[in-house]
Amino acid sequence: MTSTDRYLARGPRVGIRHFTAADRAEFTALSRQSAELHRPWLFPPDDDAAFDGYLARLQEPLREGFLICEHDSGRIAGYLTINNIVHGAFRSGAIGYGAFAPAAGRGLMSEGLRLVLRYAFDHLGLHRLEANIQPTNRQSISLVERAGFRLEGFSPDFLFVDGAWRDHERWAVTREMVPEDADDQTDRKDPADRAVQEGDRADRDVRRGGEAE
């Protein structure tokens, strides 16, 4: 990565970078376009006010937000956030993510997830990342399984999602479980890449969906 490269890390087809205010129009348009794919798991910002509030919360010290972009075109393929970051002896965070409809099923989300894992462990100093996923969200479970996450447990009535308290499985990965070349181990076609995950709330004021704090 050069000093002028806007990506924090690159894989064969995607790069990861932070959110900016300039992403508002593209991100919200993709959210509206992807509503059928996301429901009932995820409700990302789909208008200007919601995006601005979301962006502001991602500036908090215990959160990190990443856009997953096709680096040839710059188009946003999806996004991933790390919330509830704890340092000290724990060095952990909880992730949430969503693929947008134009990128679904193309393997881009798998590639982006691996880039974020390596960035979180190498540059943010984290040791563990957790994903809390509803048992019926099979595509999301498949995505984290392929990235090396292990099932750690089951939490009944864990998150308030789409109007009710929902059971979740707890999946996690630690630094030792991710190979050094993880960002290169991505299939070109990946059905799990349609995945959306309810652990990405960045604390929206109106709990329409299950994005977790």
Give me the residue label for tokens 């509503």: 35
Give this prediction's pTM: 0.84
Q: What's the rounded Cα separation, in Å, for the pair 114 and 125?
A: 16
Q: How many CB atoms neighbour CB 136 within 10 A?
A: 11
Confidence of residue 204 (pLDDT cuts 50, 70, 90): very low
The DSSP secondary-structure symbol of 159 reads E
- Of 48-52, 159-163, 198-202, where does the model show the most confidence? 48-52
Residue pLDDT, tens place only, 42-67? 889 999 999 999 999 999 999 999 99
Task: Give yes or no for residue 187 having a pLDDT over 50.
Answer: no
Confidence of residue 183 (pLDDT cuts 50, 70, 90): very low
- Of 96-100, 178-182, 205-209, where does the model show the most confidence? 96-100
Pairing assessment for the beta strands 164-174 and 128-133 based on DSSP bridges: antiparallel
**If DSSP codes are grouped into helix, strand and coil, which group holds residue 117?**
helix
Q: What is the pLDDT of residue 162?
A: 83
Give me the residue label for tokens 């750690």: 152
Confidence of residue 202 (pLDDT cuts 50, 70, 90): very low
Q: What is the pLDDT of residue 84?
A: 95
Confidence of residue 3 (pLDDT cuts 50, 70, 90): very low
- Cβ contacts of residue 49 below 8 Å, gap of 6+? none
